[in-house]
Amino acid sequence: MEARKIVDAVKDAVEAVTEPTVPGTPGSGTPGVAEPTTPREPLPPKSDQGTPEPVTPTGFDTGAPKTARGQQGAYLTTAQGARLRDTDHSLKAGPRGPILMQDHHFREKITHFDHERIPERVVHARGTGAHGVFTAYGSAEAITSAGFLKKNAETPVFVRFSTVLGSRGSADTVRDTRGFATKFYTSEGTFDLVANNIPVFFIQDAIKFPDIIHAGKPHPDREIPQAQSAHDTFWDFVSLHTEAQHHTIWNMSDRGIPRSYRHMEGFGVHTFRMVNDAGETVLVKFHWKPKLGVHSLVWEEAQLIAGVDPDYHRRDLYDAIEAGAYPEYELGVQVFPDTPDETFAGIDLLDPTKIVPEELAEVQPIGRLVLNRNPTNFFAETEQVAFHLGHLPPGIDVTNDPLLQGRLFSYVDTQLTRLGGPNYSHIPVNRPHAPVNDMLRDGFHQQAVHAGVAPYKPNSLDGGNPFETTEKAFADLPVRVAESTKVRENPVSFDDHYSQVRLFWQSMTPVEKEHIVSAYTFELGKCYEQAIKERQLLALANIDADLCAQVAAGLGLPAPAATVEPAEVAPSPALSQLGQEWPADGRIIGIVVGPDGADGAGAVREAILAAGALPLIIAPAGGKAGGLDVQRTFNTARSVEFDAILIADAATPAADAIPARDAKAGAAGALAVDPRVRLLVEEAWRHAKPVGAWGTGTAVLEQAGITGTPGVFLAESGPGALTTLQQFLARHRVWDRFPATLA
Ligand code: HDE
């Protein structure tokens, strides 16, 4: 009886507060943006939500669908094309009743949703892609018969950039290697150049790949840390398996935290073989060189971005392409004679833990890549693209590098699980642009309706088709395979694990060395096991005593003595990122203005656009500031988004807008500076970015206490500030500010 009363009471209460819902009641939509009742185009993005405006004329008809963001057509249908009246309510036995089994639309919608996800890539799960065009210079014609490398040949490409260790949703700016995989849709068959931004690898033999990846991925018990190498299992493995030390020092250098995918080199890592029309062969290593130069983040900046904007690199690439600031890279090759011992200058070309310094073998440019179109659909293109080292056109072949040999197996194999069967080359982004006439049949997700009755050779029933040919066909080169016995061994030359690591360290400038020391100290400082730290210090001692001593001091541990005689190495200046000047194209400059804009801000903005960089106006609130469109507000802006900051106005806030904790902002009688603007400037300064000001903006620099330090400038006017700024941007950062910032 008591229970019955409670049920009744609850029922009464629920009925009292529940208004009957009437679909389509006027005013039931989102306030201010009512749901359209007749088909129309999607709303354009708001001014502060859009991508930065174009900075260069596009120059290309990229073929991208112009209205690709909408749905396909006006009326909703089932998967079978039947139009639908209602997709918001399931079919029920009365408004309060259970869902009926016969609701085929409900079942189709939910079932498809339940199966929307596919397994993420086992490595390189986090990535982003873009379409582009590769144009050959013709300079490789003498060494390869590949048609796409003939002079002025234009080939469509799809590129996917990635991190290695993190899951699909992990942050972009973690310390890691970056993937740089390019699919050339050549008319002679697809060529995949599946490269990284680091020219060496952790292991010399593919059979060790599961070991290094298991060590780098999160701990199997707690599934932490995500997308990090700063943990015990990673350092346990690399300190024991010392052939990993070369790749590891690249990760600990600024190369491990690129500024963007536009500022990154790419390396094929392995040595490949090229063959020309006369059948002559050479050995080559592939290099991508970014037009904007190789630049990196600083560590604190990378960490902040991982929280503030985990999609930073993805966003940068997308925005740059939408803005017309198309990323460009030059493809180059180092060319070596194809000698029986497969070495060059004493370096074993089959050892993927070794580079050939550019000073010994120049990188010769053979073509130019321009990324000019964003994918229309991330899943369809970027997620489903499948690369494979065995996608080779005639004129390019593999070598016996044992890492490369293993990869030739892995890349097909992994797609079988990830893309659900053997027909992944039928997915639009994977379809070759060359005519396909294979005898592969059936299987899951078969898209082709093959005609004919004889998918076998020899046959007479299909007229003997298809025929083999020697014309423009891939040829297996008659490369000599040494007569030998079966062994599980490496060549002796693979045993040198330290000399090239030392070469890298000694090629760095003092600032870069300081960053490397900080990175090792940070990562080892995150390890719990004392024995692992000590063992890695021993590896560092074998690389360089000074490096070891500095890291040991940071860890508070004794520096061990080397167990290997240090090699005499000649530094390779090409390995350093410093010392050159680069175009400022696509660099992002924040201009802080007040609620009413600022004198000269509009002119500077125009001048920045004309110089090929991207100005973003930062104001106290969104909308307009003195006629300027506001792209960022004091709430949404954070220094890490910008390569430089210009303060046009101190942006004096109303006294009561300053949070109490910042009431001390500014000396008595000085302009009150919004604390968010001060933070913007202080962070930019710590990260060695140029900071300039004019007008009342100079008060901000004074209050931050940075006036008179390198890269901080006061200008008479807006245009004056830009001239000074450009000089700093050409060198990327104000390097003189390190190491005082300890970033
Ligand atoms: Fe990969 N690698 N890898 N790798 N790799 C994959 O293939 C593998 C290696 C690289 O954006 C996987 O489709 C083995 C070196 C890139 O889709 C997998 C070995 C280099 C990408 C695989 C290596 C790379 C991958 C996972 C040691 C630089 C991303 C998903 C022998 C030259 C491609 C996939 C994309 C992806 C295996 C070593 C670059 C499992 C076994 C060295 C850029 O097949």
CATH class of the structural domain 127-430? mainly beta
Q: Which atom of ligand 1 is nearest to the CA of 410?
A: 44
ipTM rounded to 2 decimals: 0.98
Q: Which residues line ligand 1 (CB under 6 A)?
A: 121-124, 127, 160, 162, 179, 181, 194-196, 201, 206, 209, 269, 385-387, 403, 406-407, 410-411, 414
pLDDT, position 414: 98
- Residue 208 CA, ligand 1 centroid: distance in Å: 13
Active site positions, annotated: 124, 196
Fold match between domain 497-575 and domain 588-737: no
Average pLDDT per block of 10 residues along the chain, 743 residues long? 47 45 42 74 56 38 44 84 96 97 97 97 98 98 98 98 98 98 97 98 98 98 96 98 98 98 98 97 98 96 97 95 92 97 97 98 98 95 98 97 97 97 96 94 94 94 93 89 87 96 97 97 98 98 98 98 95 94 88 90 90 91 94 95 90 50 44 86 96 89 91 82 86 83 42
Burial class (CB in 10 A: 0-12, 13-18, 19+), 522: middle
CB atoms within 10 A of CB 485: 5
- Residue 196 CA, ligand 1 centroid: distance in Å: 9
- What is the token pair recorded at 114? 């339940």
- What is the token pair recorded at 24? 């389509």
pLDDT, position 612: 85
Beta bridge partners of 285: 334
Binding residues for heme: 121, 160, 209, 407, 411, 418
pLDDT, position 71: 62
Residue 598, C-beta contacts closer than 8 angstroms, at least 6 positions apart: 591, 626, 648, 649, 695, 697
Q: Helix H segments across 146-274?
A: 209-216, 232-240, 245-252
pLDDT, position 3: 45
**Does domain 497-575 correspond to CATH entry 1.10.3720.10?**
no
Q: How do the domains of the chain map onto residue ranges?
A: 127-430, 497-575, 588-737
CA distances 694 to 631, 667, 700, 702, Å, are 20, 20, 10, 12
DSSP string, 626-682: TTEEP-EETTT--GGG-SEEEES---PPPGGGS-GGGTT-S-TTSPPPPHHHHHHHH
Domain covering 588-737, topology: Rossmann fold (3.40.50)
CA distance linking residue 337 with residue 237, whole number of Å: 36
* Ligand 1: residue whose CA is nearest its atom 43: 179
